[in-house]
Structure 1
Amino acid sequence: MTGDTAASRPSLPPLTRDGRLVIVARAQRAEDYDRVIDVLVDAGVRSVEVTLTTPGTFDRLPELIERYRGAADIGVGTVTDIDQLQRAIDAGAPYVVTPVTSAGLVDHAVAAGLPIVPGGLTPTELFASWSRGAAAVKVFPAGQVSPGYAKDLRGPFPDIQVVPSGGVDLEGTRAWLAAGAVAVSVGGPLLGDAFVGGDLGALRERTRRFVAVCAGGSA
């Protein structure tokens, strides 16, 4: 990593960095976001990634960013091309996430000053994104490796910031953070059936357990 890259690297926004928990909100419809995100934020979540696989996400994005401003970062996930990335930039997204390793996406985001978290699994993929100025790198799918992978990566890449994603449950959250992950990205193990009419009270309790672990407590 060069000094120029380190100096130009956009950092994860403070709410996301300090909360250490990103919830991947993959809804069936964008109009379903509010009732679930309201519960997540009320239970202590400070960063939610709304995904472009949910129809209508871009239409709702400015409203969601404003609705939760100061309480939670609303990032954009599943970004896979420059047009999508630019739309996220134009909407004022605080960060973006992509499941792929793409020099073009990283370069475009860094040039715009937007924190980007690109996906990858191998050391080559992860370092390629990190060395170009990614705010952090997403180990995806994290279920294919153990939490110790975060520690292994810091051997050759001591400064790399790792966010595991894909199948991370409560115990995995604790283990990845203990191994040095800067944050965890959690979807189904926390959200369960919340987007298909599930019990929001149960969602609140699950969320509080994850938030407590990420805050350094027990759950």
Structure 2
Amino acid sequence: MTGEAAARRLALPERTVGSRVVVVARAQRAEDYNAVLDVLLEAGIRSVELTLTTPGTFDRLPRLLERYGDSADLGVGTVTDTDQLARAVDAGAHYVVTPITSTAFVAQATEAGVPIIPGGLTPTELFASWSAGASAVKIFPAGVVGPSYLKDLRGPFPDIVAMPSGGVDLDSAGAWLAAGAVAVSVGGPLLGDAFRGGDLGALRDRAAAFVAVAAQEAA
């Protein structure tokens, strides 16, 4: 890691770090965000990644920030090119997430003053992003390796800030946090069928269960 990159590294938003759970909201359309976010925040979720695979996310983001931005961090995820990253920054995203390793993305986001969490799986990929000044690295897909992988990574990279994503369920969330993850990134195991007309009461219960696991590991 260069001294310059370390000096420019931006911290993750405080609510994301404090809550230790990031919900990946992959909806069929952006109009469906509100009902689900209402329930998530009520259950104690304080960080939501809005994915660009959901049509209309950029158009919807200003209204979502106005409604929820004082209570939760709203990031933009599935960023795969520089134009998307620039739009996320301009729209006011609290952080950006990408599934790939790109030191150019890290530099662009850092220069814009927005924390970035780039994805990777191998030690080379993860350390490349961390060395470039990423706020944290996303171990993706985390289900392929499991929580012990983070313990192994911390041998050569003791200071790396990591977040698992992809395949993290309620049973493994606590193990990832115990292994040193700054937070867990959770999608389907928490959201279930909520974006397809599912029971929002059940969604509230699932979200509350993840919040409880995160709080237990933080104690």
TM-score by length of 1: 0.97
What amino acid is the match of 1:199?
D
Deviation, structure 1 residue 167: 1.1
Name the Cα RMSD after superposition. Answer: 1.1
Query: Does 1:77 pair with 2:77?
Result: yes
**1:136 aligned residue:** 136
What amino acid is the match of 2:186?
V
Q: Deviations 1:168-213 (Å, cap 9, x if unpaired)? A: 0001101100000010000000000000000000000111000011
Query: Does 1:118 pair with 2:118?
Result: yes
Q: Deviations 1:129-158 (Å, cap 9, x if unpaired)? A: 000010000000001002011111111111
Deviation, structure 1 residue 2: 2.6
Structure 1 ranges of 4+ moved more than 2 A: none
Secondary structure of the residue that 1:156 maps to in structure 2? Answer: coil
**1:55 aligned residue:** 55
Q: Closer, same or farther in 2 for the Cα pair 1:135/1:58, shift >3 Å? A: same
Query: Does 1:203 pair with 2:200?
Result: no
What amino acid is the match of 2:173?
T
Distance in 2 (alpha carbons) for counterparts of 1:172 and 1:112: 34
Which residues of 2 match residues 25-174 of structure 1 at below 5 A? Answer: 25-174=25-174
What amino acid is the match of 1:110?
T
- Percent identity at matched positions? 72
What amino acid is the match of 1:48?
V
Secondary structure of the residue that 1:215 maps to in structure 2? Answer: helix
What amino acid is the match of 1:38?
D
Deviation, structure 1 residue 217: 6.1
Secondary structure of the residue that 1:117 maps to in structure 2? Answer: strand
Q: Return 5+ residue gaps in structure 2 as ranges.
A: none
**2:189 aligned residue:** 189
What amino acid is the match of 1:187?
G
TM-score by length of 2: 0.97
Which residues of 2 match residues 2-21 of structure 1 at below 5 A? Answer: 2-21=2-21
Distance in 1 (alpha carbons) for counterparts of 2:92 and 2:104: 20
What amino acid is the match of 1:56?
G
Distance in 2 (alpha carbons) for counterparts of 1:81 and 1:216: 37
Secondary structure of the residue that 2:118 maps to in structure 1? Answer: strand
Distance in 2 (alpha carbons) for counterparts of 1:118 and 1:93: 15
Deviation, structure 1 residue 57: 0.3
What amino acid is the match of 1:105?
F
What amino acid is the match of 1:94?
H
Distance in 1 (alpha carbons) for counterparts of 2:83 and 2:112: 14
Secondary structure of the residue that 2:12 maps to in structure 1? Answer: coil
Aligned residues: 218
Higher mean displacement: 44-53 or 146-155: 146-155
Contact 2:194 2:200 in 1 (8 A): yes
